[in-house]
Amino acid sequence: MKQLLKKLTSAYGPSGNEETVREIIKKEIEGCVDEIKTDSLGNLIAVKKGSGSKVMIAAHMDQIGLVVTYIDDTGFLRFAPAGGFDVTDLIDRKVIFGNGIVGVVSYENEIKEIKDVTVNNMYIDIGAKDREDALTKVQEGDAAVYYTTFGGNGDRVTSCALDNRSSCAVLIETIKNLKDSPHEIYFVFTVQEELGSRGASTAAFAIEPSACIAVDVTDTGDTPKSQPMSVKLGEGPAIKVFDQSVMVHPAIKNIMIDEAEKLGVPYQMEVLKAGGTDTGAVALSKSGVPSGCLSIPCRYMHSDSEMVDISDMEGGVKLLTGLLNDGIRI
């Protein structure tokens, strides 16, 4: 699992540019499913065929990024965020573009207090001498992502892009472990979740599943003086109840709880005050889809050094595999 996660998080894949991640996943699951296709928006859809109802399992491939909006005469890059950033997480962080160009994010020297830093007075420094030099390396419209090394101690690993490559790894391992199911299962590795769950919305519209479980990361409440939240690292995957995009279908939530208890998988209940996942987009597709979410606890989300516990991911694989083997019946 750890080596797979390292491979996935090392891949460049901001929203709208998920091609490299998609190819890695495709190679990992070839031979384990009956059909693999890429739809017009870029979602990777892997199908395990069956005679039962359609069930969609989703995890997004994209990571947050910075899109170059302007290159000034001195060669510094202005940018817009593609996804949710706290500007303090960006200061003096390294970023990398798809062509391998590395830069540093900083802010204008006349800003005296951190509270006054905004995206509008920040820039990316790629070491260019002037605009002409910068244009030989980067173009307006190019996207950069955090550039950090994968590492960790024991089961606790840190990296950029654990949101949501950790969940992609969970889906990959579930595909490899799943032997049989009463369903026809659509494993969907979605695009552009960080920009509003766009890939999940179009995929669900086309597939018309009878039920869906999305897999994503969630915040934790286990760091010093953190916002109160019951989810902790290393105490099992979380079963979502609510976030700003969805009130989870009670039948799906209860099925997930029952399966976790049956399998002896430690689990936690997630009530997220802010944010959302692909779950919300799928739930509102067409006439509605009963949807739930399996969440991987993650510290320092949307930073360059997110942290997850491998045991939570392994518990997620066991729970998801059990759910699909036993069947999701509404």
CATH assignment of the domain containing 86: 2.40.30.40
Q: What is the mean pLDDT of residues 167-185?
A: 95
- Supply the mean pLDDT for the chain: 96
Query: Do 131 and 226 belong together in one domain?
Result: no
Q: What is the mean pLDDT of residues 195-223?
A: 97
Query: Do 51 and 178 belong together in one domain?
Result: yes
Largest CA distance in the chain: 65
- pLDDT classification of 2: cutoffs 50, 70, 90: very high
184 catalytic, yes or no? Answer: no
Greater confidence (99 vs 226) lies with 99
pTM of the model: 0.95
* 233 pLDDT higher than 90: yes
Counting the structural domains of the chain, the total is 2
Cα separation, 216 vs 294, whole angstroms: 7
Q: What is the pLDDT of residue 320?
A: 98
Q: What percentage of the chain reaches a pLDDT higher than 90?
A: 90
Q: What is the pLDDT of residue 113?
A: 85
User: Which one is catalytic: 18, 28, 173, 193?
Assistant: 193
CATH at 39: 3.40.630.10
Q: What is the pLDDT of residue 294?
A: 98
- pLDDT classification of 114: cutoffs 50, 70, 90: confident
Query: Do 94 and 221 belong together in one domain?
Result: no
Cα separation, 264 vs 305, whole angstroms: 31
User: pLDDT by residue (tens digit) across 292-326?
Assistant: 999 999 999 999 999 999 999 999 999 999 999 98
> Which domain does 90 fall in, by range?
65-146
Q: Where are the beta strands (DSSP E) in the chain?
A: 35-38, 44-48, 54-60, 65-71, 77-82, 94-97, 102-107, 122-125, 143-146, 151-153, 156-159, 184-190, 211-218, 238-243, 246-247, 268-271, 291-297, 306-309
Q: What is the pLDDT of residue 179?
A: 86
Query: Do 239 and 295 belong together in one domain?
Result: yes
* 119 pLDDT higher than 80: yes
Q: 86: which 2 tokens?
A: 């706290």
Q: What is the mean pLDDT of residues 181-202?
A: 96
